[in-house]
Copies of this chain bind each other. A is one copy, B any other.
Amino acid sequence: MLDRNHRANQRERGQLAKTAFMRALSPNALARLLDGAHITSLPARATIFREGEPALAFYALLSGYVRLYRVSRDGRQADIRICGPGDIFAECLIYGGDTYRFHAQAAENVSLARFDMQDVRELAEQDPTVSKAIMATLSDHLLSTMDCVVNDRLHTAPQRVADYLLTRCPSDNGPASIRLPYQKSLLAGMLGLAPEALSRAFSSLRRTGVTVRGRVIQIGDVEALKEI
């Protein structure tokens, strides 16, 4: 694959304009933001940035998944967030400090848009729809990170998995089927589990009517899952 690194073309601009972050921007702000976007493709496992590097840009994900994580002194890793298509990340540094506070790594082939923080700071200064979008995104991330803390502290592995399945479940009751959009090891990291623990959690959910075959998960009875 050739190394792509270019300004956003029409298709990419359209894709970006539909994200939660940009949907509510004024036409003028949106255009200026997109004019500054740089598109890059990266292969699986590529590093996007490292903890401690100067934070010059934040990113929007067009396709693929990205892992935000930190590494302990003894080399163990803990995921902070998994980003999917349409997500933006490292936006907490627009007004939150000048170095990245975690590593960002492509979990698979990804395509992403890069935005200069300083440019966006100036844009936010001039256009309130930009600051509103930033505030909404920050609030959203803060709330879901709080959820993450509570989940870790309150729920066991099977409960966290059941929770996860319920949040992606289209229907409210009866049987359902879900296809994981990524590897199970990535899901394990999201839930703060070792891959083995995720596997065991799935197998303990068998008695509740959950069947796993590869990336496809069958739920016998959604109501029953809520009881876990």
A interface residue numbers (CB < 8 A to B): 70, 72, 76, 78, 80-81, 92-97, 101-102, 124-125, 128, 131-132, 134-136, 138-143, 145-150, 152-155, 192
Contacts and interface: CB of A to CB of B under 8 A. Distances in A.
A40 B148 CA distance: 31
Q: How many copies of the chain does the oligomer comprise?
A: 2
A38 to B, nearest CB: 23
Nearest to A74: B154
A185 B35 CA distance: 52
Contacts of A76: 154
6 contacts: A72-B154, A80-B146, A94-B139, A95-B135, A124-B132, A149-B149
Contacts of A147: 101
A143 B101 contact: yes
A211 to B, nearest CB: 25
A150 B95 contact: no
Contacts of A72: 154-155
Contacts of A101: 143, 146-147
Given A145-B149, A150-B70, A139 B95 contact: yes
B192 A139 contact: no
Nearest to A96: B139
Nearest to A138: B138
A204 B132 CA distance: 48
A50 to B, nearest CB: 15
